[in-house]
Each structure stands twice: as structure tokens, then as C-alpha cells.
């Protein structure tokens, strides 16, 4: 496999490759977009909202804010984001404070709501990992390719800022490799390899040789009792 014409611009990546099949190219695309574990706010608790926007609308907007997602994220991790703002002011995604210093919103200038004088917004969101197969907010980005006539594939990828586009493809390939290795092990284990021979039952010492009918045992006939002649 050869990769050339690589252009890396952070959240955007393009390159040309050859020596792979159409099936593999599509698997890399799907894994990079929809199989990576990505952090996103999944539940929102509203404590106060006197803004002109409904609770559900604000919760939906906050759920789509991209969050930086590190490698090897535990499946049970939960990060809290707290927002406490009073008007008059513009409220942005960067106003949400994370409970983890190493995890924060990927873009701090995403508008949430405009608060007027006397209005306030106070809430808490819980971010959990998920995949793009569950909801678009867990999608890592977009990957596309062109199958050219000369057998090469032209890839273009753009991340949604949770990580760089190069990192998105690297993680997707690694996850695909791990799943294929697990599948290979499971297929190899089917049937347990060589079947164990069943232990033959022990034959009695007087058993007939294989292929011959067993001889019937003759029962001893009861001896007739001799009649004693009595002399008169």
C-alpha cells in the first residue's frame, strides 16, 4: 500500500492511496465516521432558564457542541459541564465549565443563546461516549473517497473538531484492525480444533471378538430327582 499527495490541515485531510480494495476503503470510511467512541452531552438538567428559548431547544443545541475526545476513553466515563450565565450577554459554548481539566469543548465560540437584562441560564450537562450509529452528535466527522480508473483511491476527510482528521482515520483503522483480529480468533476457535476421541467402554474379559456374535450361555438343566423305590 502506498500513500501519496498527503495534505494535512488539522481538521481536514486529503491523500491518494493504491494497493487496497474497494471493500477495505469503504470499511475505513465507515469505521472512522461511525464506530469511534466520541464524547457528547447526552443529558441536560435545567436549574433556571428565563431566556426566550425553550429548555429542549437549548439542550439540543448543547448536545451538538463538539467535545475534545482523548484516546482510550473508558466506556463508563461521565464528564460534567456546568453553565451559569446572567444577562445582558451572549452565551457561548466556551462558557460551559468542565469537571475534567483535560477535556473541554472543542470550539468555544459556538452561540448558545442571547440573554437580555434580568435573564439568566443555569444548567448542567453530562457528557458520555457514544458512536455515530446511535446519534449524529457522536459522529467523529465525514470521510469520502473516489475510486479512480487507474486503481487508486482519493480520500478526503473532515473531522468535527473532537480530534484532527488524521487522528480520526488512524483511530478508525486501529479499531477496524482490532475487530478483525477478534473475529479471526473467534472463527479459529469454532469447533475447538481437533475433536476429542471418546473413551471406549471397557469390554469384559469374556466378551466376543469384534464382528462375532456373543455366545449364549447355556443354563444347567435341573437333574431329575431319582425316585426311590420303596419295598413293601
The predicted structure's pLDDT at residue 193: 52
Q: Please name the residue that has the C-alpha cell 429548555.
A: 55
**CA-closest candidate to residue 161, choices 66, 95, 41:** 66
Per the domain annotation, does 203 fall within a domain?
no
pLDDT of 3 reads: 85
Residue 218 has pLDDT above 60, yes or no: no
- Rounded to the nearest integer, the mean pLDDT of the chain is 87
102 and 45 in a single domain? The answer is: yes
Looking at the chain, the whole-number percentage of residues with pLDDT higher than 70 is 82
pLDDT in tens, 32-88: 999 999 999 999 999 999 999 999 999 999 999 999 999 988 989 999 999 999 999
Q: Are residues 48 and 95 in the same domain?
A: yes
pLDDT score recorded for residue 136: 94
- Residue 216's pLDDT band, with cuts at 50, 70 and 90, is low
Same domain, 67 and 116: yes
Q: Is the dihedral of CA 87, 63, 13, 144 positive or negative?
A: negative
CATH of the domain at 70: 2.170.120.12
Instruction: Count CA atoms closer than 13 A to 150's CA, side-chain side.
Output: 5
CA distance 33 to 134: 12
Assigned C-alpha cell, 126 = 453530562
Residues in the chain: 232
Strand, helix or coil at 122? Answer: strand
The band of 226, judged by pLDDT with boundaries at 50, 70 and 90, is very low
Asked if the structure places residue 227 within a domain, the reply is no
Domain membership of residue 60 as a residue range: 39-131
Residue 210 domain-assigned?
no
* Structural domains of the chain, count: 2
Distance CA 161, CA 131 (A): 15
Q: What is the CATH number of the domain that holds 153?
A: 3.30.1360.10
Side-chain-side CA neighbours of residue 171 (13 Å): 22
Quickly state the pLDDT bin for 4 (edges 50, 70, 90): confident
* Whether residue 31 is found in the same domain as residue 44: no
Amino acid at each position: 500500500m502506498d500513500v501519496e499527495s498527503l495534505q494535512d490541515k488539522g481538521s481536514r485531510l486529503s491523500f491518494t492511496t493504491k494497493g487496497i480494495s474497494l471493500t477495505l476503503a469503504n470499511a475505513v470510511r465507515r469505521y472512522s465516521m461511525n464506530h469511534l467512541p466520541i464524547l457528547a452531552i447526552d443529558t441536560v438538567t435545567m436549574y433556571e432558564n428565563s431566556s426566550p428559548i425553550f429548555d429542549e431547544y437549548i439542550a439540543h443545541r448543547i448536545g451538538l457542541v463538539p467535545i475534545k475526545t482523548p484516546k482510550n476513553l473508558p466506556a463508563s466515563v461521565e464528564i460534567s459541564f456546568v453553565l451559569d450565565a446572567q444577562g445582558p450577554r451572549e452565551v457561548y459554548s466556551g462558557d460551559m465549565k468542565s469537571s475534567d481539566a483535560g477535556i473541554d469543548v472543542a470550539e468555544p465560540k459556538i452561540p448558545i443563546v442571547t440573554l437580555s437584562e434580568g435573564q439568566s441560564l443555569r444548567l448542567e450537562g453530562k457528557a458520555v461516549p457514544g458512536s455515530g450509529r446511535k446519534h449524529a452528535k457522536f459522529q467523529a466527522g465525514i470521510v469520502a473517497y473516489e475510486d479512480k480508473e487507474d486503481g487508486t483511491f482519493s480520500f478526503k476527510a473532515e473531522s468535527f473538531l473532537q480530534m484532527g482528521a488524521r487522528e480520526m482515520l488512524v483511530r478508525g483503522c486501529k479499531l477496524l484492525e482490532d475487530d478483525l483480529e477478534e473475529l479471526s480468533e473467534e472463527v479459529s476457535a469454532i469447533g475447538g480444533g481437533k475433536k476429542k476421541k471418546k473413551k471406549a467402554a471397557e469390554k469384559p474379559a469374556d466378551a466376543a471378538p469384534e464382528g462375532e456374535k456373543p455366545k449364549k450361555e447355556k443354563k444347567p438343566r435341573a437333574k431329575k430327582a431319582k425316585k426311590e423305590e420303596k419295598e413293601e
